[in-house]
Homo-oligomer: A and B are copies of this chain.
Amino acid sequence: MFENLTAERSGVTPSLNALRAFEAMARTGRATLAAEELCVTHSAVSRQVKALERGLGVALFSGPKHALRLTAAGQDLLAGLTPAFDAIAAAALRARSQTDDLTLAVNASTSVKWLIPRLGRFAAARPAVRLRMLELAPYAYGQRGAHAVVRIVRPEHLGPGVTVFMPNAIGPVIAPQLLAEAGDILAAPRLVAGTHAHGWAEWADATGARLPPVQERIFAHLHFALDAALAGLGAVVLPWPLVADEVAAGRLAAPLPFAPREGGFAVMATPGVESRALVQFTAWLKDEGAAMAPAPG
């Protein structure tokens, strides 16, 4: 009928960690992605969510294991949790920001091939800022616990708090020696980055180029494909800022015009978080972006 007078915590509010695991799994749609985000194994996420369902006495997911869907209760719970966890992360970040810390979530390719090589200049200009960088999941446009996200932003994600500091344009590059051998960059083997599988097609659509069938090689990331191109394995369509230095140094050739892309490289400030260091960093990014050579074509 009714439980006795008790203040036992268990059963009143479920474990916060379990709620966070659920929130990540519900938001990403898969336990594996949630596990990656939380830096644990999928097993841990699965366990937490199961424990949460047991504690609440409500099913949160339904459907076959390979295509889970949120129940109505799960959707309602997710809607309540996401802004709350965002607020907690933002509050914690504000507290930490007292000390000129700046935490950025950066796309791995952008980071390795553009940002990190320039970070020494920022550190020299703003020695007080202690920068901390997190790897941003390729599909993610936000990262809890970071003051801002730095990535290529599509036009539909532009808005307040998003500062484009450098335009984007994509086009094919190739090692000069391989270009000489193949005669035509479009006749060389094509390297494809898994995170931008449609790079060649997009560039061809935009420029009207026709792509003869050639061998393709798949790489997980843009920067792997870039390194492969440097090594002479083939041609690859990449954002201009990531290859500009290599082209200027003669290690890559860009014989064909690049196609401008809407949006661009941008820094996306996390809502609810303010940081003097982020303002300084954004200004520095705009300076660096302005100093980039324009893309060919």
Residues of chain A at the chain B interface (Cβ within 8 Å): 1-9, 11-14, 16-17, 19-20, 38-39, 56-58, 60, 73-74, 76-77, 79-81, 83-85, 87-92, 94-96, 98-99, 101, 103, 106, 108, 111-112, 116, 119, 123, 127, 130-135, 144-146, 272
Contact = CB atoms under 8 A, between A and B. Distances in A.
A58 B95 contact: yes
B80 A88 contact: yes
Contacts of A106: 5
Contacts of A127: 1
A80 B99 contact: no
Given A79-B91, A80-B88, 4 more contacts: A4-B133, A56-B96, A83-B84, A84-B88
B88 A5 contact: no
Nearest to A134: B7
A1 B128 CA distance: 8
**The 10 nearest A-B residue pairs measured at CB:** A80-B91, A2-B131, A12-B145, A84-B87, A16-B16, A13-B145, A9-B39, A84-B84, A77-B95, A1-B123
A38 B9 contact: yes
Contacts of A123: 1-2
Contacts of A119: 1-2
A112 B12 CA distance: 21
A231 to B, nearest CB: 22
B6 A92 contact: no
A93 to B, nearest CB: 8
